[in-house]
Structure 1
Amino acid sequence: MQLYHHPFDLDSQKVRLALEEKGIDYTSYHVNPITGKNLDSSFFKMNPSGRLPVFQNGAHIIYNTIDIIKYIERIVEVSSGSQTISSSGRDVIEWMHKIQEWDPKYFSLSHTPEKHRNYVSKFKRQVVIARMADSPELAGAYHEKLREAYQTEEKLKDADVLRRSKEHLIRLLDEAEKQLSKTQHLAGEQFSMADVMFIPILARLVLLGLDSEYITARPNISEYWFMVQKRPSYKKVIGKHFDGWRKHKTLLKTWCFVHIRSLLKRY
């Protein structure tokens, strides 16, 4: 089993948390979307959307985050042969879909310094153009990615788009706050795949420096966040890269790559 992912990517974090929680071994391939590695022709042929994560088990390839997590649960069921292990129930599945409905892209980008955001966006557009020249047989898919990049820049200028994204997030957090006043975890007393889906959102808010507004202001989520950070899966998947000085190391490494390649015009 192989997973194409990156520590920065929210959906990648969800899948990796699921794999760690279920104790499944897999081969890890880092594909950094900020540096444009998800646009390399070898990856693009496998997944023309260029999105992460991608899970491969033999000839079976899955792109959708929830589908990957459900597949992981089925693997555990089959390999264990135990009648006591079952896939996520209705409440868990409902929460998984509810969480996945929020697209973090515009919210995250809107809280990134505009200078850095524009610099990376320009770099990624140059990467698309360079890959298009190298792989003309994929020109149609690369044109779509270029169009998507320009659309993202336009939507970031639209106050309504940003407002809707923020309001969607607040509704999700408020509902989670209400649920966590009744149960220890998001879909009941036991840790589940709903929590696997939710934890990376909280981690993203902390990374953006928004924890006081969105987490601390909600006492139940704040207590929950303190608790889940102690899990070994969190420490391996997220904490390893974004706690303390590691956060600066992770971000600096990527920024240096983009800056050097831009100076040398090597895309």
Structure 2
Amino acid sequence: MGIKVHGHPFSIAAQRVLLCLAEKGLEYESVHIDLTTGQQKEEPFISLNPFGQVPGFEDGDLKLFESRAITHYIAHAYADKGTPLIDHDVKKMAIIGVWIEVESQKFEAAGSKLNFEIVVKPLKGMTPDEDVAEQLKGQLGKVLDVYEARLAESKYLGGDNYSLADLHHIPVINSLLKTKYKTVFEERPHVSAWVANILGRPATQKVLGGPKA
């Protein structure tokens, strides 16, 4: 039956899953969900994700939703394929786990909201609120100050090796780098080097075409 990813190419969450599959070198079937017509809120997709949000994921008879849960599954189920993305050493995996949580709880809170304000709103014909965007930039900057200190002592957030902790950031960073708010990354040298590293990976290039795409 194989792997199927139900999503949309502009979806930040769907991109996380596609990046993970690319790092693993896995083949999959892409099932396009038209977000403009509300297809994600209708059958048959709503049976795959009852919250009506992409992506949906199938691997044989296994059905999943929530992008980070999907990447965790892929990393563990296909641990022998491609880039490891996790670590079987318990202590090293615990550190990776910390930064996975930081992304979902700290970075996401500011980064995705900023992306919505300045990237998604115009696509929906809405006017961005510059004051809100500046506030979110400040919030994101505080998070990245912590990253700057971490990356001064570690090549990647989870340690010496690239992992899910880094991968989960890529879609939002890739989107924000195309805006004037890219400076929030560029003005922090260790963050900037890390961003260039993870966005320059072959799997990232394959899925997103790099930061200038």
Is contact 1:108–1:208 with CA below 8 Å preserved after alignment?
no
- CA pair 174-33 structure 1, distance change in 2 beyond 3 A: farther
- CA pair 18-114 structure 1, distance change in 2 beyond 3 A: closer
Instruction: Provide the residue aligned with 1:235 in structure 2.
Output: 205
Letter in 2 for 1:173: L
Instruction: Provide the residue aligned with 1:109 in structure 2.
Output: 116
Letter in 2 for 1:243: K
Is contact 2:24–2:81 with CA below 8 Å preserved after alignment?
no
Letter in 1 for 2:113: Y
State the 1:34 CA deviation.
4.4
Letter in 2 for 1:94: V
Is 1:89 the counterpart of 2:93? The answer is yes
The structure whose Rg is larger is 1
Give per-residue Cα distances to partners, 1:106-130, cap 9 Å, x unaligned: 32232148665346xxxxxxxxxxx
Instruction: Provide the residue aligned with 2:184 in structure 1.
Output: 214
Q: Distance in 2 between matches of 1:24 and 1:78?
A: 11
Instruction: Provide the residue aligned with 1:142 in structure 2.
Output: none
State the 1:165 CA deviation.
4.5
Instruction: Provide the residue aligned with 1:126 in structure 2.
Output: none
Is contact 2:115–2:172 with CA below 8 Å preserved after alignment?
no
- CA pair 32-239 structure 1, distance change in 2 beyond 3 A: farther
- CA pair 92-40 structure 1, distance change in 2 beyond 3 A: same
- CA pair 40-205 structure 1, distance change in 2 beyond 3 A: same
Instruction: Provide the residue aligned with 2:103 in structure 1.
Output: 99
Where in structure 2 are there 5+ consecutive unaligned residues?
A: none
Residue correspondence of structure 1 range 68-83 to structure 2 within 5 A: 68-77=70-79
State the 1:162 CA deviation.
6.1
* Number of equivalenced pairs: 201
- CA pair 55-116 structure 1, distance change in 2 beyond 3 A: closer
State the 1:3 CA deviation.
0.9
- CA pair 168-64 structure 1, distance change in 2 beyond 3 A: farther
Give per-residue Cα distances to partners, 1:147-206, cap 9 Å, x unaligned: xxxxxx9xx88x7x7677545422332222211111111111111111111222211211
Q: TM-score, normalised by structure 2?
A: 0.79
Instruction: Provide the residue aligned with 2:155 in structure 1.
Output: 184
Q: TM-score, normalised by structure 1?
A: 0.64
Where in structure 1 are there 5+ consecutive unaligned residues?
A: 120-152, 245-267
State the 1:7 CA deviation.
2.3
Of residues 19, 26, 34 in structure 1, which corresponds to 2:28?
26
Letter in 1 for 2:99: W
Instruction: Provide the residue aligned with 1:199 in structure 2.
Output: 170
- CA pair 108-91 structure 1, distance change in 2 beyond 3 A: same
Instruction: Provide the residue aligned with 1:2 in structure 2.
Output: 4
Give per-residue Cα distances to partners, 1:76-125, cap 9 Å, x unaligned: 13789xxxx73871111111121112245532232148665346xxxxxx
Give per-residue Cα distances to partners, 1:194-245, cap 9 Å, x unaligned: 111122221121133321x2111111111122222321111111117x734x
Letter in 1 for 2:172: I
Is contact 1:99–1:197 with CA below 8 Å preserved after alignment?
yes
SS at match of 2:31: strand
Answer 1 or 2: which has greater helix percent.
1
